[in-house]
């Protein structure tokens, strides 16, 4: 059976991304391996340290810039992270200086909010309905 183990988020600056994803969002660094001018740099949720790793991948490939710009300009999140309470996470992150481009909004059975990750991406947080 297939399972997701790593997902990439393209970033302009790996150190800035690591600082934001760990220091502000609360992820922890899983791998930080030098690879020439870049690093194999992954972070994980402390709630699932053996779960999906987010690869903070350099955005240098020529296809990445136009792709990210189009998504960002159209307000489309590059990734979505689950949270237990969107409103509480919105308040916590806002207090930490995170800039939201969409406040918590009910969308059918889920509630979402979207923020700028300071690294070239919009990221959505999503609260699923109680099971």
- Note whether 38 and 72 are same-domain residues: no
Domain boundary among the residues 34, 59, 84 is at: 59
Q: Would you say residue 131 has pLDDT above 90?
A: no
CATH code of 125's domain:
3.10.180.10
Q: 67-86 pLDDT, tens per residue?
A: 999 999 999 999 999 999 99
Quick count: other Cβ atoms within 10 Å of Cβ 62?
A: 7
Range of the domain at 24: 1-59
> In terms of domains, do 49 and 74 share one?
no
Does position 130 have pLDDT exceeding 80, yes or no? Answer: no
* CA gap 102, 115 in Å, rounded: 7
Element (H, E) at 36: none
Mean pLDDT of 7-12: 97
Mean pLDDT of the chain: 96
- What confidence tier does 47 reach under pLDDT thresholds 50, 70, 90? very high
Q: How far is the C-alpha of 9 from the C-alpha of 42, rounded, in Å?
A: 10
How many domains are there within the chain? Answer: 2
DSSP state letters, 57-104:
EE--STTHHHHHHHHHHTT--SEEEE-S-HHHHHHHHHHTT--EEEEE
């Amino acid at each position: 059976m297939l399972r997701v183990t790593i997902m990439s988020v393209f970033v302009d600056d790996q150190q800035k991304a690591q600082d934001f994803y760990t220091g502000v969002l609360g992820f922890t660094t899983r791998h930080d391996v030098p690879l020439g001018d870049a690093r194999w740099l992954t972070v994980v949720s402390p709630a699932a340290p053996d779960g999906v790793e987010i690869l903070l991948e350099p955005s240098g490939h020529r296809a990445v810039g136009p792709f990210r710009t189009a998504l960002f300009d159209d307000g489309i999140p590059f990734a979505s992270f689950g949270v237990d309470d969107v409103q509480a996470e919105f308040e916590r992150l806002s207090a930490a200086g995170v800039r939201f481009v969409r406040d918590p909004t009910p969308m059918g059975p889920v509630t979402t909010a979207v923020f700028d990750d300071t690294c070239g991406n919009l990221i959505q947080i999503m609260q699923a309905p109680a099971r």
